[in-house]
């Protein structure tokens, strides 16, 4: 069985696809923007759930199977999407999610304002002693990443860590066990609170906050809009602000490859993960509905796409052989 497959992204979805392809004799070239493989296993899942050596070990197993890694290579920037498509028999896109969106409030450019994913990545790949958030930290958002950022901040030595959420407890996106874990760590939850300005000269000094109100009858609804109470405003003194309000889904690959997509999510055949463009597959978080992005789902989809590619290549090669025999 032969076949050349390019995989964009080096996270769990990509690595499981690469392992499956190598087991069936196909080549697997992984293009990863970061200096190391592993995706969020390496850079995003906090060390107390996914220690770095575990991710490095899993990655090494895939490389031992013969997958080739092209690191520090951002497709769309260092190499074109079309170039990959043309040079390989199949292309798997496993680019995950993008950055945490900006809050779009005044003061966001001040030092001391962090992206939650950057803080977590630093705790995994840098020296913990070099990370100084200060004593009072505010985390904006109440999802899984917010809990991780807040509990990291506590472990980095912050004395008071507050999670600000513009809705109430019932609408919090984090799991209940994460909520319990954060409370055990002494994290303070400020419900129905919205940061409207980050205040400071060069460095963060305080957050200007307003209370929010649900629409009548929508207190539990995560999607329902809330209104701010402009007349109830206060300053919360803080040394660092961490943005943790979800992650952007990049649309670039789908546009570049003319893959049909609904919003930023490509349309795929659920049985194979093949997109509307034959030979191009999408797997992992780039497909995941909100709240359903997990390593196991990403790994399962990587395997599924690889199996579909192997079947397709086998059929094509079998048909070609039969043609020659006849
Ligand atoms: C803070 C946090 C905590 C989490 N905790 C858990 C947990 O405890 N358990 C769990 O199951 N899941 C957890 N998840 C979710 C889990 O990490 C993801 O579902 C999983 O990593 C998705 O794998 P993936 O391969 O699709 O994407 P990713 O792991 O995001 O990997 C995508 C890779 O693609 C690369 N890339 C992107 N664009 C390009 C490009 N143009 N060119 C080259 N490379 C590119 C990126 O650099 C990245 O390495 C967590 C997520 C976060 C953010």
Q: How confident is the model at residue 223 (pLDDT cuts 50, 70, 90)?
A: confident
d(CA 276, CA 287): 14
pLDDT tens-digit readout, 21-39: 999 999 999 999 999 999 9
Residues 298 and 226 in one domain: no
Residues 90 and 119 in one domain: no
> For a pocket test of ligand 1, which of 31, 51, 95 has the largest count of ligand atoms closer than 8 A to its C-beta?
95
Q: What is the mean pLDDT of residues 268-280?
A: 97
Q: Which domain holds residue 222?
A: 113-243
In a domain, 107, yes or no: no
Q: What is the mean pLDDT of residues 103-116?
A: 97
Average pLDDT, the chain: 94
Q: Which of 222, 243, 264 marks a domain boundary? A: 243
Per-residue confidence (pLDDT) for residue 144, from 0 to 100 = 94
pLDDT(292) > 70: yes
Dist. CA 211 → ligand 1 center (Å): 33
**Which one is predicted more confidently, 291 or 276?**
276
pLDDT tens-digit readout, 39-79: 999 999 999 999 999 999 999 999 999 999 999 999 999 99
- Asked if residue 49 has its Cβ within 6 Å of ligand 1, the reply is yes
The region of weakest confidence among 128-132, 206-210, 306-310 is 128-132
Q: Classify 282 in phi/psi space as left (phi over 0), alpha (psi -120 to 50) or beta.
A: beta
Dist. CA 214 → ligand 1 center (Å): 33
For residue 124, give Cα distances in angstroms to 62, 150, 152, 246. 21, 15, 11, 20
Per-residue confidence (pLDDT) for residue 326, from 0 to 100 = 66
For residue 23, give Cα distances in angstroms to 17, 68, 121, 272. 10, 14, 31, 18
In a domain, 105, yes or no: no
Q: How confident is the model at residue 220 (pLDDT cuts 50, 70, 90)?
A: confident
Residues 217 and 122 in one domain: yes
Residues 211 and 312 in one domain: no
- Asked if residue 96 has its Cβ within 6 Å of ligand 1, the reply is yes
Residues 239 and 269 in one domain: no
Q: Which atom of ligand 1 is nearest to the CA of 40?
A: 29
Dist. CA 40 → ligand 1 center (Å): 4
d(CA 284, CA 262): 16
In a domain, 312, yes or no: yes
Q: What is the mean pLDDT of residues 221-239?
A: 82
Total Cβ atoms within 10 A of residue 246: 17
Are 187 and 151 a contacting pair, CB within 8 Å?
Answer: yes
Residues 78 and 24 in one domain: yes
Per-residue confidence (pLDDT) for residue 72, from 0 to 100 = 98
Residue among 144, 170, 175 nearest 152 (CA): 144
- Asked if residue 3 has its Cβ within 6 Å of ligand 1, the reply is no
Q: How confident is the model at residue 261 (pLDDT cuts 50, 70, 90)?
A: very high
> For a pocket test of ligand 1, which of 7, 10, 11, 54 has the largest count of ligand atoms closer than 8 A to its C-beta?
11
- Asked if residue 16 has its Cβ within 6 Å of ligand 1, the reply is no
Residues 138 and 239 in one domain: yes
Residues 229 and 277 in one domain: no
In a domain, 108, yes or no: no
Q: Which atom of ligand 1 is nearest to the CA of 73?
A: 43
In a domain, 196, yes or no: yes
Per-residue confidence (pLDDT) for residue 65, from 0 to 100 = 98
Q: Which of 243, 265, 291 marks a domain boundary? A: 243
Task: Please give the tally of structural domains in the chain.
Answer: 2
The whole-model pTM stands at 0.93
Q: Which atom of ligand 1 is nearest to the CA of 76?
A: 41
In a domain, 254, yes or no: yes
In a domain, 54, yes or no: yes
Residues 236 and 126 in one domain: yes
Report which DSSP code applies to 71: -
Structure tokens at 69: 């890694």
**Which one is predicted more confidently, 78 or 233?**
78
In a domain, 314, yes or no: yes
pLDDT(229) > 80: no
Residues 228 and 263 in one domain: no
> For a pocket test of ligand 1, which of 59, 96, 182 has the largest count of ligand atoms closer than 8 A to its C-beta?
96
Total Cβ atoms within 10 A of residue 82: 11
CATH of the domain at 16: 3.50.50.60
Beta bridge partners of 282: 93
In degrees, rounded to 5, the angle at the alpha carbon of residue 320 between the alpha carbons of residues 316 and 321 is: 120
Q: Which of 243, 272, 297 marks a domain boundary? A: 243
- Asked if residue 34 has its Cβ within 6 Å of ligand 1, the reply is yes
Give the β-pairing of 206-214 and 226-237. antiparallel
- Asked if residue 120 has its Cβ within 6 Å of ligand 1, the reply is yes
Residues 14 and 121 in one domain: no
d(CA 239, CA 218): 34
**Which one is predicted more confidently, 262 or 229?**
262
Dist. CA 93 → ligand 1 center (Å): 12
Containing 180, the helix (H) or strand (E) segment is: helix 176-184
**Which one is predicted more confidently, 216 or 164?**
164
């Amino acid at each position: 069985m032969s076949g050349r497959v390019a995989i964009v992204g080096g996270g769990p979805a990509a690595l499981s696809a690469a392992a499956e392809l190598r087991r069936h004799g196909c080549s697997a070239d992984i293009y990863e923007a970061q200096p190391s493989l592993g995706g969020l296993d390496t850079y995003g899942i906090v060390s107390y759930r996914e220690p770095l050596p575990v991710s490095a070990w899993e990655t090494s197993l895939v490389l031992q199977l013969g997958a080739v890694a092209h690191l520090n290579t951002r497709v769309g920037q260092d190499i074109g999407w079309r170039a990959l498509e043309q040079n390989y028999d199949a292309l798997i896109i496993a680019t995950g999610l993008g950055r945490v969106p900006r809050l779009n409030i005044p003061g966001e450019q001040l030092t001391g304002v962090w992206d939650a994913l950057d803080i977590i990545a630093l705790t995994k790949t840098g020296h913990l002693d070099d990370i100084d958030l200060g004593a009072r930290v505010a985390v904006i958002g109440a999802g899984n990443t917010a809990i991780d950022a807040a509990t990291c901040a506590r472990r980095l030595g912050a004395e008071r860590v507050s999670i600000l959420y513009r809705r109430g407890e019932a609408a919090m996106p984090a799991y209940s066990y994460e909520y319990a874990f954060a409370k055990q760590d002494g994290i303070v939850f400020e419900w129905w609170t919205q940061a409207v300005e980050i205040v400071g000269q060069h460095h963060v000094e305080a957050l200007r906050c307003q209370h929010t109100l649900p629409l009548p009858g929508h207190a539990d609804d995560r999607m329902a809009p809330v209104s701010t109470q402009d007349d109830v405003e206060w300053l919360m003194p803080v040394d660092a602000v961490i943005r943790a309000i979800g992650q952007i889904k990049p649309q670039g690959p789908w546009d570049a490859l003319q893959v049909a997509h609904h919003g930023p999510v490509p349309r795929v055949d659920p049985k194979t993960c093949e997109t509307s463009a034959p030979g191009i597959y999408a797997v992992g978080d780039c497909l995941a509905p909100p709240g359903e992005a997990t390593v196991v789902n990403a790994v399962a989809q990587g395997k599924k796409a690889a199996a579909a590619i192997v079947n397709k290549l086998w059929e094509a090669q079998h048909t070609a052989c039969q043609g020659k025999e006849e």
